[in-house]
Structures are given as C-alpha cells and as structure tokens.
Amino acid sequence: MIANRIQQVQDPVIPIVGRWTSEHPGTISLGQGVVHYAPPQEVFQAVAESAHPGRGLDRYGPVAGNDALIEAIEKKLIAENEIDPIADQSSVVCTAGSNMGFLNAVLAIAEIGDEIILLSPYYFNHHMAIEIAGCRAVVVATDHENQPDIDAIAQAITPRTKAVVTVSPNNPTGAVYSKEDLAEINLMCAARGLYHLSDEAYEYFTHDGVQHYSPGSAIGASEHTISLFSLSKAYGMAGWRIGYSVVPNHLLVGIKKIQDTNLICPPIICQVAAAAALQVGSAWCRGQIAGLTAVRDATLQTLSELGDRVQFAVPQGAFYVLFQLQTDQSDMALVETLIRRFGVAVLPGSAFGESKGCTLRLSYGALDPQSVSEGVGRLRDGLATLLS
C-alpha cells in the first residue's frame, strides 16, 4: 500500500491535462511552462564533441557538480545576481533542475512535522515536495496584485516554521516581487531564525522595465538564504534537467548527503551542456525572450474581450497569466471541456492553491507567437460560449 503521506500529496496536474490533450489531436496547449525555442547551438556542439570514449561522460562525478561548471556558475552569480558564494561563505550545488534543489533544501532544514510558508498561488511542485518530506505547507495569500502580504507572512510564523518560500518572477501569476518586499521578507527570516528559499528560475523573464532582484545578494543574507536557479526556462533546456542552488556552507554536508542518496551526481552530459550554455551567456537568453512582451500584450488584449467575465492582474514577469472567471463551474471540469470541445489546453488554478472561484493559468511562452494567438483565440471563444 502507498504510504499515507504520499497519498495525501496532490496528483501532478500536467500529466492529467497532457493525457486529455493527447486524446484530442490538434489541441493547442497553453498549459505546461516551457519556452518555444531550442537551446543555443553551442550546447549541441559541446555535447557532440564530448560524446567519445575517454571523455568521462560514463563515470561518476563530484556530488555537487564538476569544478568547471561550478566556476562558470560562480562567475554568473557575481556578475548578474551580486551573489559571491566564496566571499559569502556559501556553496554552489548543481542539481537535476531547481526542483531537486528545493527538495534538497527542505530535507536538509526541516524535521518531520515542521512548517514551510508558501505564498498563494504557489508553485504546485513546491507544495508537493514539502508534503513528501513529511512537513506541512502553510499557505499565505498574496494581495489582489499577487504581491506578498508581509504582515500576513509574519502572522503565519509559528515555533514549527523553518522557512519562507518566494518565487519571483512568479509561477503561476507572472508577478515580480519588489526589491523592498523581498528584502523585508529576508530580514524577517533572519530575525526569526528562518531560512528564505528564493526560487529565481524566471530571473530573465521580466516586462515593462521591471528588474529582478536576488535577496541572497543582501549583506548578511548568505547565512539564511537558499537561492534556486535553473537553465530549463531561459536556455530552453527543460529536458536536460540541470539547475543549481546557492546554499549556506553550514548546510553543505547535509545537502550533499541527500543529493548523493538521490542522484549521486548531476548527469555529466547535462553538465557539459550547461557549461556551454553559460558560456554563450544571458545576452542570448534575453534575445530569445525579447518578443514575449508583445505576446503577453496580445494575450491580455484577447482575454479582455471577455469583459467582466474575466479578471487578472497584469503579469510583469515569467510567461503566465492567471485569471479568474465569473462562473460557478469547477476549474478542472472547465479545463477538460476546453480541450474536448474547443481544442485548447490550460491549467486549473486549484492546482496552484487557488480555492476562491474558478481560476485558470495559461502559458504564452511555450509556442511560437502565431500558435499562441490562435490558442488564446480558441480560449476566448470557448469561454465566451461556456460562460454565457
């Protein structure tokens, strides 16, 4: 029998929606959070050049990652995030995506029954990881603009609280938290003896001149901040499963113990790919991302044609729109109907902890702009029919 704590974990929604989508060929998927572009060509060249006997791809490597990749990551962190792991008594740990970095962190800092604060709407894999680790997710609502409510976070802290999690730019809302709010949350964690888990997978995905901020860059933050990064989004490398975290040195032994048990080491071939991507650099990423603001604007314009039947806060980051509908229908039932009748897939807001009303999340980054436009048009037409 499956352990009770695992049975209590929510079912991953993406495979469910993916199955419905595959049952209806021609469906345009605005569901899963991936980008539509491929990694830099240099990634494939580096992998091809390394795929020969004697190049070390078929051997284990260091638990936290190879020195060459870690050095490349450290240079990137210093230049772009103002985080200097060596000077700050922190360490880089390469992981199989930032999801593994998050689970590593929770397992390292929390005992069974401890609490981790998530801001709602939350990234569902974070909620799942907390429960799988035998901990309890304490969900704190954000405000009407999907921004943190600092007072509510403070009120949610108990003697069992171990960490506060922030995701900025945010999945699923596209909100970008201000430097002031992130700094205040970080200081609160320091004052209360908590860790701040900062998920920054979408660091390059911002709109309207909004700037991303890494709270781990603040003076004194390194002792209690765990920063999570990924190459999945910006470099189009979701399937390569490579990410990294910056962790306080006092957690390194524990995190290595956890990673050695689950992974042994990050896949060597993926580390080769990651090093090549970082060599190309973030300017390449920003060039790929540049057109997303126009796609976002067109998406919002199309949704606005539904009038007061749809409500949303304008997202200034990532590539998501989370919107609420004026209906009593179940969001999951509505998702299934949109696929089966109108050929467009989105995700239900309930998967992200949205419990008030009917909420859906769409991703406008996973397809080329023309396909996104057609998909959002189908979504508008479907909702106009279903909500009439």
Note the pLDDT tens digit of each residue in 73-110.
999 999 999 999 999 999 999 999 999 999 999 999 99
pLDDT in tens, 177-224: 999 999 999 999 999 999 999 999 999 999 999 999 999 999 999 999
What is the reported pLDDT for 210?
97
Average pLDDT of span 263-276:
97
Q: pLDDT averaged over the chain? A: 96
Residue 188 CB coordination number (10 Å): 16
Ordered strands of the 310-312 beta sheet:
310-312, 320-325, 358-363, 347-348
Is 309 exposed, middle or buried, given 0-12, 13-18 or 19+ CB atoms closer than 10 A? middle
Tokens of 188: 């609160």
Paired residues of 348 in beta bridges: 360
Rg of the chain (C-alpha set): 21
CA angle 97, 101, 107 (to 5 degrees): 140
pLDDT greater than 90 at residue 274:
yes
Axis crossing angle, helix 67-76 with helix 268-280, rounded to the nearest 10: 30
Q: Pick the closest to residue 211 from 182, 176, 175 (CA basis).
A: 176
Dihedral pair phi/psi, residue 184, rounded to 5°: -70, -40
Check whether 331 has a pLDDT greater than 90: yes
Tokens of 72: 């490349």
Mean pLDDT score, 232-247? 97
Residue 54's pLDDT is 80
Q: Name the percent of the chain lying above pLDDT 90.
A: 95
Contacts for 388 with CB less than 8 Å, ≥ 6 apart: none
Distance between alpha carbon 82 and the CA centroid of its chain, in Å? 21
Produce one character per residue of 335-346: b if its CB has 16 or more CB atoms within 10 Å, e if not.
bbbbbeebbbbb
Report the distance separating Cα 75 and Cα 86, nearest Å: 11
Which H or E run includes 71? helix 67-76
Domains annotated on the chain, with CATH: 4-30+291-386 (3.90.1150.10), 41-280 (3.40.640.10)
Tell me the per-residue pLDDT of 334-360, one tens digit each, with 9 for 90 and over.
Answer: 999 999 999 999 999 999 999 888 999
pLDDT digits (tens, 9 = 90+) for 43-63: 999 999 998 888 888 899 999
pLDDT in tens, 137-150: 999 999 999 999 99
Report CA-CA distances (Å) from 225 to 30, 32, 190, 350: 33, 28, 9, 29
Asked if 188 contacts 153 with a C-beta cutoff of 8 angstroms, the reply is yes
φ, ψ of residue 114 in degrees (nearest 5): -70, 165
Closest CA to 252 of 38, 99, 60, 108: 108
